[in-house]
Structure 1
């Protein structure tokens, strides 16, 4: 692959274990999400097979899924390249989030009102709180990664608590795009982000469906208002 990004393959025991298509998918997806494979990077089957020590079969299994979820594009005479996140893609992402995350929050609150404990959501919030606390032992990059992971886990916990199986199936590709966007537009107030998460968690655990839905929508729209101008300026 032609890229200055860190695309080193598995090391140690993992380097000799055969990877299936889903594992190759996750390996490439994670590096696109966190920016180690930046937009425009070429992904050659032969080079990737050598880096992660697999045959081309699982790579060919992974590529259609990566393309279907918007992570790569297949171009004539260039093959697979990492797809950019266009401004139009980001607007569509926020539109979808404004529907599905609001629904998830309302349903999760209804589950709590009916007696669900919400322990996993509490745990996810505590993890998110630890992630935003300043720690001189962490690099800014490491903290940003921890915040991204914890934020994703918090929203996944809401979806899980919703009890809606179809919603759980719909969310993973959306969550991946959100996490990628988190890395692309990382100028934000993380403490403010956590306060919104804390208020949303409180409404859900109290079984306050409409309050939870309103807070979820406000959270998405706040993120939209902060993110789009950053991306528009970087595209100029």
Structure 2
């Protein structure tokens, strides 16, 4: 049983990666037999991984045809960012009421960055961004909040990868937003920190929805072009 769980975890992690990076796109039909052949395992760990993926909302079961990768749309993006705002607001309040050492560390996270970003500084900035939001959530010390946030972030990562080739400008725009949040946290100004956090997430939501609309419209246009008969 221990071996089966270990294999299913490896399958799960690899399938998460493929779904997030788009290798397995939305609405892709999943065959446990085909995947078992790909991974060189039995169908049992594949099916266990399917149940894990369903629990975090990355795949769903459709009657008759089996399992498919879940789709997402602008409403999903709005709801995910709204939920993220609720969770992170709770985290900010806990962080400000926590240790001085942690607040000071967070307050200094975005020092030293200069615009424009090159590839190396963009990668470093994104690591700091991830560290910042993880620190906020972990400050709650609430395992259920942390678990829900992990699931929300998996969904958001899918959207981020889907539109990432268009989002460089948003990465640079967000630097000052993060600095305003961290300054308020370092100053123990709860109201300002929450207001700046919500403004930042609202901008994320707005940018993601617009980019998603652009990508979706472009995809539809490309499909129409393919369907136009050649005269």
Using structure 2 for the length normalisation, give the TM-score.
0.76
> What RMSD over aligned residues (CA atoms) do the two structures have, in Å?
3.1
Decide which of 60, 63, 83 is 1:76's aligned counterpart. Answer: 63
Decide which of 22, 36, 42 is 1:49's aligned counterpart. Answer: 36
Q: Using the TM superposition, give the Cα deviation of residue 218 of structure 1 relative to its aligned residue in structure 2, in angstroms.
A: 0.6
Decide which of 171, 192, 196 is 2:177's aligned counterpart. Answer: 196
Query: What is the DSSP-based 3-state SS (H/G/I as helix, E as strand, rest coil) of the residue aligned with 1:80?
Result: strand
Decide which of 178, 182, 189 is 2:160's aligned counterpart. Answer: 182
Q: Using the TM superposition, give the Cα deviation of residue 147 of structure 1 relative to its aligned residue in structure 2, in angstroms.
A: 6.3
Query: What is the DSSP-based 3-state SS (H/G/I as helix, E as strand, rest coil) of the residue aligned with 1:20?
Result: helix
C-alpha contact 1:109 1:162 (8 A) present in aligned 2: no
C-alpha contact 1:87 1:228 (8 A) present in aligned 2: yes
C-alpha contact 2:184 2:190 (8 A) present in aligned 1: yes
C-alpha contact 2:87 2:137 (8 A) present in aligned 1: no
**1:223 aligned onto 2:204:** yes
Structure-to-structure mapping, 1:1-236, within 5 angstroms: 19-112=6-99, 115-118=100-103, 121=106, 125=110, 133-135=117-119, 151-186=129-164, 187-188=166-167, 189=169, 190-236=171-217
Query: What is the DSSP-based 3-state SS (H/G/I as helix, E as strand, rest coil) of the residue aligned with 1:111?
Result: coil
- The change in CA–CA distance for 1:123 and 1:31 in structure 2 (over 3 A counts) is farther
CA distance in 1, matches of 2:88, 2:173: 19
CA distance in 2, matches of 1:103, 1:191: 26
CA distance in 2, matches of 1:123, 1:35: 34
Structure 1 or 2, whichever has the larger Rg, is: 2
Q: 1:32-90 CA distances to partner (integer Å, 9 max, x unpaired)?
A: 11222211222211222222232222221121221232211222343222111122212
Q: 1:12-43 CA distances to partner (integer Å, 9 max, x unpaired)?
A: xxxxx984333322211122112222112222
Unaligned runs of 5+ in 1: 1-16
Using structure 1 for the length normalisation, give the TM-score.
0.74
- The change in CA–CA distance for 1:133 and 1:161 in structure 2 (over 3 A counts) is farther
Match of 2:226 in 1: none
CA distance in 1, matches of 2:48, 2:105: 33
- The change in CA–CA distance for 1:102 and 1:126 in structure 2 (over 3 A counts) is same
Q: How many residues matched?
A: 210
Unaligned runs of 5+ in 2: 218-231
